[in-house]
Amino acid sequence: MAKARTIHVCSECGAQHPRWLGRCSTCGAWESLVEESTGAEPAPTADLLAVEPSAAVGKAVPLREVDASGAPRLATGIDEVDRVLGGGLVPGSVVLLGGEPGIGKSTLCLQLAAALGGTGPVLYVTGEESLEQVRLRAERLGDVPGRLLALAETRVEALAEPWREIRPQLVLVDSIQTMRTAAVDSAPGSVAQVRDCAALLSATAKAHGAALLLVGHVTKEGSLAGPRVLEHLVDVVLTFEGDRGHPFRLLRAAKNRYGSTQEVGVFSMGERGLLAVPNPSELFLAERHAGSPGSCIVPIMEGTRPMLIEVQALVAPAGYGTARRTCIGIDDARVALLLAVLDRRSDVDVLSCDVYVNVTGGVRVAEPAADLAVALALASSRLDKPIPADAAACGEIGLGGEVRRVGRLDQRLREAARLGFGRVLLPAGADAKAPGAEPVPVTEIADAVRWLRDA
Ligand code: TYD
Ligand code: MG
């Protein structure tokens, strides 16, 4: 029998280290290691098949005889959420909802709880707010159904009684980091607590056929705080993203055992909570000031949905010292690369200038498909020449200055045409078509700059 020992677990990435370190050697986080004791591990069995038959009661069945149509879904009634989940919540499944503080996780939970509280019992467990606070918020969001029951509790064991009594179809726990179990004696929020609480709750949900939604905080770096093991433990990982200064919010599935991870839900945070946004492009372009230099429209894809966003650039003469580079909503390194390519592969000189790039609406663009639009916005600002009001651009730019093809061009073109962008600069050779959109093929970044000068 191995003896019980202590290990040090990183609370950022879940890596285990035999002794304490100031910095986790796996993920590089500082002071993230916490001590944990591991129980005595059972002696490994030499051969799995040598185990007593009584201990092995599993029975294998032919896969093609398994009935897969049986997973019924609890439609939440909030279309944007149902879409991301793949049709609704699956009873007995565990969903983890992650997001930065203040982004709207509790609001989304309460809206879900209220929507499902109209069809059956729902238990909302809050470990962070008082019942009065939850009530006030619920009132702000609309009607509060009678079958939505709330409980302010942080002890997991204390959920057993209400759970047994209410027989909820959905249990929401806000947040998993505030929960603790008597089975572990480390502090709430520690790796061991979070993991064991989640495991206990999920086993209960599975045994009683309730859907379970756990709210989890994320760290500054955007990963779920607490152990990575939480992500393995749950069936669906949803992330709620956005910029707190803007109303726009995106709900994505980072993992989904019951559906696609390609769908996104788009919301806007308003006075009365989260509202679905059926046409995100219109939201982003509402405040656009067409005709000013340095602005370019690009059709990006969020999952399977195209949306038009505006990239703004400001190129100004640098003061003394090193030129400044400030990027909001787009990766700094990507912009640095595009500046270098623009400088070497076209006649626009930008390297000695201060450069500011902003993606409007609080959106974050990670797609290389936005390269051409960023480069054009930079050139437009530097040359002080506005991009025509009916033009958009889309394409990846390589280090040689070549404009490369990107996926789903037809869909992007259609979205551009729908909002009145009749001309779209595209990689030459891509045979994308959409009614009402005229492709302007470009081979190299220099072509695009030439087109802008002549426009
Ligand atoms: P919250 O759901 O508490 O965020 P989280 O649980 O992710 O920390 O949302 C907090 C923010 O949302 C807060 O700044 C106020 C804002 N908000 C609205 O703008 N409208 C609303 O109707 C509600 C309920 C909140
Ligand atoms: Mg909250």
Confidence of residue 232 (pLDDT cuts 50, 70, 90): confident
Nearest CA to ligand 1 atom 2: 104
Assess whether the C-beta atom of 112 lies below 6 angstroms from ligand 1.
Answer: no
Å from CA of 360 to ligand 2 middle: 26
- Between CA 207 and CA 214 the distance in angstroms is 17
Residues 19 and 82 in one domain: no
Task: Evaluate whether residue 51 is within a structural domain.
Answer: no
- Between CA 122 and CA 114 the distance in angstroms is 8
Residues 6+ apart with CB under 8 A from 44: none
Least confident of 37-41, 146-150, 180-184, 289-293: 37-41
Residues 274 and 301 in one domain: no
Residues 381 and 272 in one domain: no
Residue 44 clears pLDDT 80, i.e. is over it:
no
Assess whether the C-beta atom of 99 lies below 6 angstroms from ligand 1.
Answer: yes
Task: Give the domain-ending residue among 240, 258, 278.
Answer: 278
Give the CATH number, domain containing residue 438.
3.30.230.10
Residues 95 and 231 in one domain: yes
Task: Evaluate whether residue 57 is within a structural domain.
Answer: no
Q: Which residue has the tokens 């530097």?
A: 382
Assess whether the C-beta atom of 273 lies below 6 angstroms from ligand 1.
Answer: yes
Assess whether the C-beta atom of 393 lies below 6 angstroms from ligand 1.
Answer: no
Proximal ligand: closest to the CA of 103 = 1
Least confident of 12-16, 21-25, 234-238: 12-16
Give the CATH number, domain containing residue 246.
3.40.50.300
- Between CA 346 and CA 162 the distance in angstroms is 68
Task: Evaluate whether residue 61 is within a structural domain.
Answer: no
Question: Ligand 1, closest atom to CA 128?
Answer: 6
Ligand 1 pocket, mutate which of 128, 172, 269 (most atoms under 8 A from CB) = 269
Residue 287 clears pLDDT 50, i.e. is over it:
yes
**Residue 298 and residue 394 in contact, taking contact as beta carbons nearer than 8 Å:** yes
Å from CA of 323 to ligand 1 middle: 38
Question: Ligand 1, closest atom to CA 100?
Answer: 7
- Between CA 317 and CA 92 the distance in angstroms is 60
Mean pLDDT taken over the chain: 89
Among 155-159, 225-229, 433-437, which range has the highest average pLDDT?
155-159
Nearest CA to ligand 1 atom 14: 102
**Residue 411 and residue 430 in contact, taking contact as beta carbons nearer than 8 Å:** no
- Rounding to the nearest 10 degrees, give the CA dihedral for residues 237, 241, 244, 246: -150
Assess whether the C-beta atom of 102 lies below 6 angstroms from ligand 1.
Answer: yes
Task: Give the domain-ending residue among 222, 257, 278.
Answer: 278
**pTM of the full structure:** 0.83
Task: Give the domain-ending residue among 246, 278, 310.
Answer: 278
- Between CA 378 and CA 356 the distance in angstroms is 9
Closest CA to 420 of 386, 389, 395: 389
Q: Strand 5-10 to strand 33-38: parallel, antiparallel, or no bridges (unpaired)?
A: antiparallel
Q: What is the pLDDT of residue 455?
A: 87
Q: What is the pLDDT of residue 35?
A: 78
Question: What confidence tens digit (pLDDT) does each residue in 82-116 have?
Answer: 999 988 999 999 999 998 889 999 999 999 999 99
**Secondary structure of residue 304 in the 3-state scheme:** coil
Residue 219 clears pLDDT 70, i.e. is over it:
no
Q: What is the pLDDT of residue 45?
A: 47
Å from CA of 105 to ligand 2 middle: 6
Residues 271 and 341 in one domain: no
Confidence of residue 162 (pLDDT cuts 50, 70, 90): very high
Task: Evaluate whether residue 62 is within a structural domain.
Answer: no
**Secondary structure of residue 261 in the 3-state scheme:** coil
Assess whether the C-beta atom of 217 lies below 6 angstroms from ligand 1.
Answer: no
Confidence of residue 318 (pLDDT cuts 50, 70, 90): confident
Residues 291 and 413 in one domain: yes
Residues 257 and 380 in one domain: no
Task: Evaluate whether residue 46 is within a structural domain.
Answer: no
Question: Ligand 1, closest atom to CA 175?
Answer: 6
Task: Evaluate whether residue 45 is within a structural domain.
Answer: no
Residues 22 and 95 in one domain: no
Higher pLDDT among residues 297 and 51, named by residue: 297
Q: What is the pLDDT of residue 11?
A: 75
Q: What is the mean pLDDT of residues 342-351?
A: 93
- Residue 211 corresponds to which amino acid? A
**Residue 289 and residue 275 in contact, taking contact as beta carbons nearer than 8 Å:** no
CA dist list (Å): 429 to 6, 105, 119, 298, 356? 61, 44, 53, 19, 32
Proximal ligand: closest to the CA of 176 = 2
Q: Which domain holds residue 9?
A: 1-40
Residues 222 and 160 in one domain: yes
What proportion of the chain, given as a percentage, has pLDDT over 70? 91
Residues 201 and 97 in one domain: yes
Residues 85 and 35 in one domain: no
Question: What confidence tens digit (pLDDT) does each residue in 53-73 have?
Answer: 555 567 888 888 887 776 688
Confidence of residue 226 (pLDDT cuts 50, 70, 90): low
Q: What is the pLDDT of residue 41?
A: 46
- The domain total for the chain is 3
Task: Evaluate whether residue 344 is within a structural domain.
Answer: yes
Å from CA of 218 to ligand 2 middle: 12
Residue 206 clears pLDDT 80, i.e. is over it:
yes
Higher pLDDT among residues 56 and 16, named by residue: 16
Confidence of residue 52 (pLDDT cuts 50, 70, 90): low
Residue 42 clears pLDDT 50, i.e. is over it:
no
Nearest CA to ligand 1 atom 12: 104
Q: What is the mean pLDDT of residues 231-245?
A: 91
Residues 272 and 288 in one domain: no
Task: Evaluate whether residue 68 is within a structural domain.
Answer: no
